[in-house]
Amino acid sequence: MKELEIRLHLLSTPDFNDDSRAFRADTFFARREFHVAREVRESYGLDSALFAIRGNVVFADFHTVREFAQKINSKVNPEIHPEQYIKAGKLNAMGLIDEILHYVTALYREKACTTVLQSTMDALEKELGKTAVNKLLQTFVKLFPPQSIYEGKQTEEDYLKESEEGIPNRLLVLEELMLLRLANENPAFEPFAFMFSDEKLEKTTEYTRAIGVLKSHLATLPHFGPDDQNLWDLLRSPAVAEPYSLTGQLEYIRKKWGLLIGKYLIRLLTSLDVIKEEEKPSFFGMGPGPTRAYIYNELEHEYERFSEDRDWMPRTVLMAKSTLVWLYQLSIKYNRPIHRLDQIPDEELDELARRGFTGLWLIGLWERSQASREIKRRCGNPEAAASAYSLYDYDIAAELGGWEALDNLRHRCAWRGIRLGSDMVPNHTGIDSRWVMEHPDRFLQLRHSPFPSYTFNGENLSNREGIGIYLEDHYYSRSDAAVVFKRVDFRTGDTRYIYHGNDGTSMPWNDTAQIDFLNPEAREAVIQTIIGVCKQFPIVRFDAAMTLAKKHIQRLWYPEPGTGGDIASRAEYGLSKEEFDKRIPNEFWREVVDRCAVEAPDTLLLAEAFWMMEGYFVRTLGMHRVYNSAFMNMLKMEENAKYRATIKNTLEFDPQILQRFVNFMNNPDEETAAVQFGRGDKYFGVCTLMATMPGLPMFGHGQIEGFEEKYGMEYRRAYRDEAPDQELIARHEREIFPLLKKRRLFAGSENFALYDLYTPDGFVNENVFAYSNRLGDERALVFYNNSFHRASGWIRNAVPSTQKGPNGTKILQHKNLAEALGLSNNPNCFTLLREQRSDRWFIRSSREISEKGLFIALDGYQSQVFLDIHEIEDNQLGHWRRLNDELAGRGVPDLHAAFQDLFLRDLYSALKELVKPSYFNGFYSFFNPEQKAPKAAPFIEMLREPTLRYIRIAREYLDGASGRYESFERKQEYSTLEAEQVWDSFAQSMQRFIKLGEYIEKPPANLQSSGRTFVASLYKALSEDPRISAYIAGYLVLALNRGIIGVEATGEDARRLVDHWCLDRKLRESYQDAGFPPDESYHVVELLKLILSRTMNEDQSLFQGPSISFSITSHLFTEEAFKAFLNVNLYNDVLWFNKEKFEQILLYAGIIAAIESDEAALPPKRQEVQSSEKKGSIVLVPHPSKLNTAQWSKRLEMIAQIQQELSNAMVASGYKVEVLLNALRPRNVAASARIRTTKRSTTKPKTEKE
């Protein structure tokens, strides 16, 4: 420590040498650059202006360095002599090292030994003799001549006799000799050795011996520097530490000699930056770098100023469309030209709205650069448009219909709840934009080309008379990507080299011009333009917004020394942070947001920002939303731990940031979602996260259709003939679109909770994303396994999440699953959950959720979404607990059905015996023309016992079966009907049904021709479709419930009982077990219930009046249930009905009217009853043992007449309700009876097939 203090003292105190003169290194030898041999100067024709009086090369700035390097390289073929092709940055570094070594030598003379040069000269002359030393010095100045010798104005001898600033030239040459040797011994200088090789000195002089004497002598003199070395070792130490790296030697000098070379520190850092610029790829990027989980350490010290959302913003779901490509695709789809915005079909907007999209981002609306289009076409695409991000001006493109067409589209979208979004490109314009033509001072520029190798001899890309715009020539050959283009004003001769837009990641955007944001006038012009755009669009996306954060404006264009290297030639224009902050004191984006909040407050500001600035853009700069590229990149690569860490870090720092993210699976600059994620479970798992995570979901063009083509920003059309993937679309319809319509539930982060899944071994499975959210009483729970491997385990505790206290303090909250979902810990409460994908319901004990959490098991890439989550308190009989125990974690399609299956188990078991396939098949056998009909009596008798059993059990359940189920609510007291009498009625209905088949061959004599025709039509339908007889058989079982209720029960009472016990569901299940189409069985059973409800009807008006057909039909079209079944709809003030449904009613109602009991099928009349032996019950007057064929024949003839009238009227009506009723209405009925409607509709009338 004491030695270090002494060395530092030597660096900060006046020279302690007794022979010291007033010598200061800071004012002497301020610029000593390296020597270049005479033969190199002559060979390469180097300009004398580059050389100082003593022959040193002097680089006034980096432009001079590049000119020098260009001179050398112009004589070199890099393919033959790549070792001789030099880079300006490394050349500058070498010169800087040489200069620093000169300076350190001067410091040594000032601080340690002022006589070092003279004493060394004395030592050389003593050891080698004056003659040898003179020859050595003369040969040196001959090989590396000062300017006066090179120009022949002075001889070597005369030069060595003179002095400069009081120091003999002999001593100065001695110093240069020492530095020459150091340069030749430095391996990192090897690429430049041909310029200062000391081989001739070694061969013709005592140079080698002289260097040995010099090193020996210097070893005897005072030591110096941070490591206390002699002068030779001190000067040699950078090359010893980093022998093969100029960058390494500069870094060594910076770290070791910082106290010595303070005046050179800025130049040293800038030199390092220039080398970094050169080492970046010159044309093509290297691809995306490694992903990183978001962290917020830097934001801890930044202020918080979120922008408040408008009410509509949280529910925004955005669809991106490349406008020109979309219009092309629409033209093909609709087989007509669609080129303008006002020609986009309403059907497309309807589809977007129906699917749940509330925002439409149209890429490429603005008037584009003609120069950009020309560049794209020269580069191989003759059909190309200009890039959508190389703009001429902010006017809606004329080819899209201009502002008028936009207004048309905007209004049509708004009517459907869709807001239009547009790009704004604040960083740059097109190279031939209106601003470049009229306001060139707004752009970042130089008055000279930054690189001498640039040439601008191509065609003028300007469309403005008097102005020339020239792209650098090497771009077209793809051999370089210049950072500037050339603008010439032919009228004044003014020439500028304007920088292209550039984010420093790969190559310049060659069709753009970079705006200079240190220019206040340019900044204000951009802000005014932004405000203008925001007044036109409710959603504005700011392209490459991160490039205009202050830190990145400086990093890219005015780098603080030591931080540059991102954009070629900009390191030399670096500014200190203090100077930069003076030039642009405030964040550009903060000013934009604040002014938009006043002048365009209803616009959602969306920033495309990367580089770990996502949180800063929304929390500090105030953007409403910001791109979250980590979502796409990490989930694609299955870097699940990183993305879960991103969510965790965000929740712990500030959850509000999470709800400001824009999540997407592809971006216009990226491959499509289908390419990146496939079309299977992984795609839909990640898409589920996108639809259900807080933030704003953004879908890419063609994502839903599964398109794989990546549309370039210059594309006018799609180049691949891709058909929409219908299965992919259908799966979106089932799994994704319903979630998009619930964005309010998912959008916020206040109640969002993320969970760790613990495996049975106690480890966290990082591949599983498990989270919940809540809005009011609505809750959701989402699971996704982003891995091929199966995952299972428990979730219970949410990761910590920060909540703000009333005074703004942060409180780190820890919640369990039950608390996050707002569930109780009540042992009598149960939580019901519906899983969206399987559409199954689950029941869990609320206490178990609170204390143990939830067990989940997921296959690879499986996702689950639980919705409709709610709690229910158990009843006194413990029904819900019993159901929970019964299901044991299993899911069911319908919890109410599962509840009934459990508590109506005996009833359903009895019903099942009556509606099994053998029963259906037995009924059809009487109408099957391919087999002999069986005997009716044995078949009917076979059903006696199961029917009586069903009647007995059903009567038990009428009153709740001792608490097993809810009692049936009856409207009155009913007289009990004996079971045998109920069976008799059921048996006679079966007998009538079977007789319909027998009457085909043996009709009764008293059955008239109309009745026979009617029976034949029924037989034909029954024989052709076996399912009809099965449906009728099911009806007869449902009709049993009239008698089960009691004598006075109506068909409506029976229908209510069917609904109370959900017998229709069990009947449908039987039909589906028999292979019947589910949709058909659903609708037919609904019709059977409707018909059942009209039996035993006490409404006398149904059978009164001059026309029963009219009366029946009038009732039909006044009952909402029948109208719904008939698809009655209003179109152009006309009521329409569905033909097929009407025919279905005629068929089934006709059969049922024919086979039902007399009291059920005929007009109501008072039934005669008598007491049975059983107390408290009555029975109907017994039916005769055989059918009353005469009475039944009359019934068939009446039904036939009614059906014929209805059928004829239907055909004549053209399926119009009013015309149908008029056709049935007796002539003396007033026309005022027609049905009136008040509601207008644009609904398309139902076709015969609908």
Question: 157-171, 801-815, 848-862, 877-891: which has the highest mean pLDDT?
Answer: 848-862
Please report, as a single letter, which amino acid is at residue 482. A
Is the pLDDT assigned to residue 47 strictly greater than 80? Answer: no
CA distance 890 to 870: 17
Nearest Cα to Cα of residue 75 among 41, 52, 50, 49: 41
Please report, as a single letter, which amino acid is at residue 41. R
Could you tell me if 133 and 171 are in contact, meaning their C-beta atoms sit under 8 angstroms apart? no
CA 465 from chain centre, in angstroms, equals: 45
Mean pLDDT for 633-651 is: 97
Confidence at 56, pLDDT banded by 50, 70, 90: low
What confidence score (pLDDT) does residue 67 get?
A: 82
Domain with CATH 3.20.20.80 in the chain: 304-425+529-549+600-749
Is the pLDDT assigned to residue 527 strictly greater than 90? Answer: yes
CA distance 606 to 608: 7
Confidence at 1248, pLDDT banded by 50, 70, 90: very low
304-425+529-549+600-749 has which fold? TIM Barrel (3.20.20)
Confidence at 58, pLDDT banded by 50, 70, 90: low
pLDDT digits (tens, 9 = 90+) for 91-125: 888 888 888 898 899 899 989 999 999 999 999 99
Is the pLDDT assigned to residue 57 strictly greater than 60? Answer: no
One DSSP character per residue, 621-632 reads S--SEEE-HHHH
- Over 768-817, what HEC string results? EEEEEEEECCEEEEEEEECCCCCEEEEECEECCEEEECCCCCEEEECCEH
CA distance 333 to 5: 83
CA distance 587 to 603: 20
Mean pLDDT for 1052-1066 is: 94
Residue 416: how many CB atoms within 10 A of its CB? 16
CA distance 702 to 676: 13
Question: 149-163, 1075-1089, 1144-1158: which has the highest mean pLDDT?
Answer: 1075-1089
Nearest Cα to Cα of residue 513 among 453, 409, 439: 439
What confidence score (pLDDT) does residue 9 get?
A: 35
Nearest Cα to Cα of residue 1036 among 939, 954, 1155, 906: 1155
Percent helix, strand, coil in the chain, to 5, is 50, 15, 40
Confidence at 266, pLDDT banded by 50, 70, 90: confident
Domain with CATH 2.60.40.1180 in the chain: 751-903
CA distance 1057 to 1038: 9
According to DSSP H, which parts of 307-422 are helical? 323-334, 346-355, 370-378, 402-415
What confidence score (pLDDT) does residue 860 get?
A: 97
Is the pLDDT assigned to residue 261 strictly greater than 80? Answer: no
Could you tell me if 222 and 231 are in contact, meaning their C-beta atoms sit under 8 angstroms apart? no
**Strand partners of residue 542:** 424, 607
Give domain 751-903's CATH architecture.
Sandwich (2.60)
Out of 290-294, 495-499, 625-629, least confident range: 290-294
Percent of the chain with pLDDT over 70: 90
pLDDT digits (tens, 9 = 90+) for 78-94: 777 777 778 888 888 88
Parallel, antiparallel, or unpaired: how do β-strands 863-873 and 829-835 relate?
antiparallel
CA 514 from chain centre, in angstroms, equals: 29
**The two three-digit tokens of residue 633, written as one number:** 């990149």
Nearest Cα to Cα of residue 764 among 786, 788, 793, 785: 793
Mean pLDDT for 294-299 is: 89
What confidence score (pLDDT) does residue 263 get?
A: 75
Is the pLDDT assigned to residue 210 strictly greater than 70? Answer: yes
What confidence score (pLDDT) does residue 1184 get?
A: 39
pLDDT digits (tens, 9 = 90+) for 1180-1201: 333 434 568 888 889 899 999 9
CA distance 778 to 756: 23
What confidence score (pLDDT) does residue 94 get?
A: 86
Out of 25-29, 484-488, 561-565, least confident range: 25-29
pLDDT digits (tens, 9 = 90+) for 329-379: 999 999 999 999 999 999 999 999 999 999 999 999 999 999 999 988 888
Return the higher-pLDDT residue of 406 and 43.
406
Give the DSSP H/E element, type plus range, for residue 723: none
Confidence at 1228, pLDDT banded by 50, 70, 90: low
What confidence score (pLDDT) does residue 1235 get?
A: 43
CA distance 675 to 710: 9
CA distance 535 to 541: 13
Out of 117-121, 964-968, 1077-1081, least confident range: 964-968
**Strand partners of residue 430:** 512
| Distance spanning both ends of the chain, measured CA to CA | 97
pLDDT digits (tens, 9 = 90+) for 849-877: 999 999 999 999 999 999 999 999 998 88
Return the higher-pLDDT residue of 312 and 1108.
312
Mean pLDDT for 130-154 is: 90
Could you tell me if 977 and 1162 are in contact, meaning their C-beta atoms sit under 8 angstroms apart? no
Could you tell me if 954 and 907 are in contact, meaning their C-beta atoms sit under 8 angstroms apart? yes
What confidence score (pLDDT) does residue 1161 get?
A: 62
Q: Does pTM surpass 0.85?
A: no
CA distance 546 to 554: 12
Angle, alpha carbons 962-965-966 (nearest 5°): 105
Average pLDDT over the chain, rounded to whole? 88
Out of 258-267, 587-596, 610-619, least confident range: 258-267
CA distances from 104 to 51, 111, 148 (A): 22, 10, 27
What confidence score (pLDDT) does residue 289 get?
A: 59
CA distances from 571 to 62, 578, 1080 (A): 9, 17, 76
According to DSSP H, which parts of 609-696 are helical? 614-619, 629-636, 640-653, 655-658, 673-677, 681-692
Is the pLDDT assigned to residue 652 strictly greater than 70? Answer: yes
CA distance 416 to 407: 14
pLDDT digits (tens, 9 = 90+) for 146-193: 888 888 888 989 999 998 878 899 999 999 999 999 999 999 998 888
Mean pLDDT for 950-970 is: 88
